[in-house]
Structure 1
Amino acid sequence: MSESLNTLGIWLGGDGTWSSTFPLLMVHLNIVIYALCFWMQQPVLPFLSKELGVDGQGFGMLQSFVSAFALIGGPVIGRLTDQFGPKLTLIISQAGSVAMYSLLSIATSAPLLFASRVPSIAQHAMLASQAAVSVLSSTDKRSSALGKLSLSYGIGMVLGSPLGGTISEHVGYRYAAMISTVFSVLILVLDALFFPEMKAKSETIDKKEDGLNLSKIFELLLVASVRDLLLTTTAVFIGLGSFRTVFSLAAEPIYGLNSQDLGYFMSFGAIVGLVTNVFLVARLISFFGSNINALVGAAFCLSICYVGYSFTSTYSEIMAVSIPVGIFSTLLYTVSGALMSLVVEKGDAGTAIALSHASRSFTGIVSPIIGGKVFDEFGIDGACWFAAGCCMIAAAFASIVSRSISKENITSSSSEKKQL
């Protein structure tokens, strides 16, 4: 293997050998395509929904509909990943994307639009990729390697949001879904043909255990550090999700944005996330002293940022506030994922990460409803303060339980090093 590929493999979190570098490259390609296709739809959906007769409340229900199916599918996909490896679940996830975007491309009524959301039960490429990275990276590289994964997601988001908005403005709302279908089919075929088989090994795994063993999901929920991390991230993502829903609805009537403008705004946020992952995540974790302290700090800073949103009235002001929001939301996402993979044994990392994704799916169900209610009662300012309150509660709770999480983090890391 050439020196450049060796260096790239180490930078991505592997050991520099082709056996780790190639699957890492495949994982990152999956995430770029997955994010590209997903974010091509985001600036289009509010306008396509409106064209099909779906009002603001209906759009919130559409978002919740997606999250409900993701909540059901996430833990199952996590167990499948731990039991059979990420190749199978990446194929399942990309097949779900093919089904979703092909249905969306032919949606001519509100029922068909809602039907196109059903395949989200299988769309968990990020979950499978995070589990793969947890297998391929060592403990000391875990946060950095997961951050690089978010970097690839950000690349897809940066490209997808403006591309989707531009296509919808010049060609039509459904063409973005058609293009996403083609890309998803291509990566599905590549995964089936070339992605290597791999599976994490747990030091304490029951050798008699074969099959799905969904009871492991509930066993992990009883682990105090897992539960505390889930409660922390759930509080944050309820706030962030409710504001995101409100902002999508308020983009046109309050801020005067069209689908192309919204696409560029989303792309700008993704660029901030890219820069954060490349240059700031490691430095911020070092500044705060540990992953758990970084989690507390990120939640606290986000609460301040959302208070700042309540004082914005122009597009440039919104863009300015979105910079620290992008930085600290990226930091929070990265360190929470790393912590979830570190407080459990390596063979259960996929299930633990799946629970983290499931908590975000749960917030995706309730936050659009909460956000819509807050927006109806208190307007956009109320949504800002609600998001700030959720983040502040999360920061306070994480600060209280940080000591116990740190202890379990150390214990799990020590156990993993013995395996290595």
Structure 2
Amino acid sequence: MSRGGEMTEETSKAPVFSPGNAADQRKRMKIILIVYILAALDITWMFLQFSVTPYLAKKLGFDTLWFGYLQTTVGVIQLTGGPMFGRFADLFGARAALSLACAATVVFFVLLAIADHPILLFIHKLPTIFMHVMPACQMVVTDLSEPEKRADALSKLGLCFGVGMIAGSTLGGQLVTRYGETFTACVGAAGSAFSLFMVLTFIPKSTKAEASRSSTESESQNKKVFSLGEITRLMKFPRVMRIFLIKAVAGLPSGIFQVMFSIIALDFFKLLPEQNGYLMTFFGIAQMVVQGGVIGRLTARYSEKSLLLLSIGVASCVGLAQAYMQNVFQFCITVTPMIFSISVFNIITDSMLTKSVPSSDTGTMLGLCASVQSLVRTIGPTIGGYLYVKYGVSSIGFTQFVVNTTVFVYLMYRQLRTKVKEGE
């Protein structure tokens, strides 16, 4: 069925999942399990690439500033592609979206393997316009999970993130140390090709339920993927603009630290590729503990507003602690609360935003959410590079403390004002 309510030949063959049907529930769980595996594999290849790019860039003569430009290039490309990719997924289904993302990842690694010049290192970033495997996985999980269980289902993707971080960092560090950057990139290309095979074999054409289409049957919908109006109209729904701005503003400082971490590890902590792999493995373990054992319990017990406030408050404290860290050991103390705040913040904001729009538009909404991360990668390296070179690592931590404290106070003020109004 099209967005305008007409059944097409392709979507008429797509599976329709009905709530309450036991057979459909089993199908949902099977597809979600496959998606979790795909997410873990994608993160594995991504962190494999993180073990290659900084050291290859250094060999090709990149300094901190030029490496920041390289990261900014990725952000600009994905900032453009994220919303369009989400719209593409809503219009053409899960299999098409995931196939496009995985195929782009294969091309990305092939170009990385042959990059022997600074220009080629920039060119190999071009396929990232379609490399949105994790947002595509989020779209499928959002389509197939119940609204009240959505945050918990999305948090399990974070568990997959931890698994992939451990596997990718460990494997990448070992492969780069023993066989070099080119061989490691080829392994990433082969792994991404396997992910594409899994998508074509196990993922259905569409994961949208029949009910998700009925809300738009009375409207004449634009079928163009590049329709800016269709993408931005979601901002007009209640709560969406405010939550989206909170997601962008509060997430920016921690995002700056994340995009700068490879440089911090290389330049400030003086870590070798293998040591960096071990540190990322520690990140992965912390991620798995938080996502697999903590967030699900919290979302079942506390409201999303309370958890959003908690995540921003913890992020503020983490920023202050990182402003005073001097070595890897001190940084490791901040890792668990850092991962907790980032994970809860991203999951809760994504859940709140997808619940604020029709289910037929959840892909586009998640594409917009992904664009926030791309925005961070666009401006983060420039801001982070300037702060790091001019004022040191501590300036990044202080920035996070100030920004998140400001957002925390704003949210507290809104909650108190709402309670006063309700009391009247």
| Aligned residue among 283, 305, 312 for 2:325 | 312
> 1:202-258 CA distances to partner (integer Å, 9 max, x unpaired)?
442136436236222110123342211221121233201222243322323322211
CA distance in 1, matches of 2:161, 2:173: 18
Q: Which residue is equivalent to 1:409? A: none
CA distance in 2, matches of 1:338, 1:48: 37
Superposed displacement of residue 325, structure 1: 0.7
Q: Which residue is equivalent to 1:206? A: 217
CA distance in 2, matches of 1:231, 1:394: 10
Q: Which residue is equivalent to 1:4? A: none
Going from structure 1 to structure 2, the CA distance change for 1:400 and 1:351 (only over 3 Å counts) comes to: farther
Contact preservation (8 Å) 2:95, 2:205: yes
Query: Which residue identity lines up with residue 270 of structure 2 in the other structure?
Result: G
| Aligned residue among 331, 337, 347 for 1:334 | 347
CA distance in 1, matches of 2:134, 2:244: 18
| Aligned residue among 164, 167, 170 for 1:162 | 170
Which aligned pairs between 1:187-266 and structure 2 lie closer than 5 A? 187-200=195-208, 201-206=212-217, 208-209=220-221, 211-212=223-224, 214=227, 215-266=229-280
Q: Which residue is equivalent to 1:380? A: 393
> 1:249-292 CA distances to partner (integer Å, 9 max, x unpaired)?
232332221122222222211211111111111333456x3112
CA distance in 1, matches of 2:409, 2:126: 36
| Aligned residue among 276, 280, 292 for 2:294 | 280
CA distance in 2, matches of 1:354, 1:78: 4
CA distance in 2, matches of 1:346, 1:294: 23
| Aligned residue among 330, 340, 344 for 2:357 | 344
Query: Which residue identity lines up with residue 42 of structure 1 in the other structure?
Result: F
Contact preservation (8 Å) 2:325, 2:394: no
Query: Which residue identity lines up with residue 334 of structure 2 in the other structure?
Result: V
| Aligned residue among 359, 362, 370 for 2:375 | 362
Q: Is residue 393 of structure 1 aligned with residue 401 of structure 2?
A: no
Counterpart secondary structure, 1:253: helix
Q: Is residue 82 of structure 1 aligned with residue 90 of structure 2?
A: yes
Going from structure 1 to structure 2, the CA distance change for 1:46 and 1:120 (only over 3 Å counts) comes to: same
Superposed displacement of residue 387, structure 1: 2.1
Counterpart secondary structure, 1:252: helix
Going from structure 1 to structure 2, the CA distance change for 1:130 and 1:253 (only over 3 Å counts) comes to: closer
Q: Which residue is equivalent to 1:28? A: 36
Going from structure 1 to structure 2, the CA distance change for 1:17 and 1:242 (only over 3 Å counts) comes to: closer
Going from structure 1 to structure 2, the CA distance change for 1:402 and 1:355 (only over 3 Å counts) comes to: farther
Q: Which residue is equivalent to 1:38? A: 46
Q: Which residue is equivalent to 1:322? A: 335
Counterpart secondary structure, 1:174: helix
Contact preservation (8 Å) 2:253, 2:403: yes
Superposed displacement of residue 390, structure 1: 2.5
Q: Percent identity?
A: 25
Going from structure 1 to structure 2, the CA distance change for 1:402 and 1:15 (only over 3 Å counts) comes to: farther
CA distance in 1, matches of 2:416, 2:195: 42
Aligned residues: CA RMSD: 2.2
When normalised by structure 1's length, the TM-score is: 0.88
Going from structure 1 to structure 2, the CA distance change for 1:85 and 1:269 (only over 3 Å counts) comes to: same
Query: Which residue identity lines up with residue 76 of structure 1 in the other structure?
Result: M
Q: How many residues align?
A: 392
Superposed displacement of residue 69, structure 1: 0.8
When normalised by structure 2's length, the TM-score is: 0.87
Structure 1: 5+ residue runs without aligned partners?
1-13, 406-420
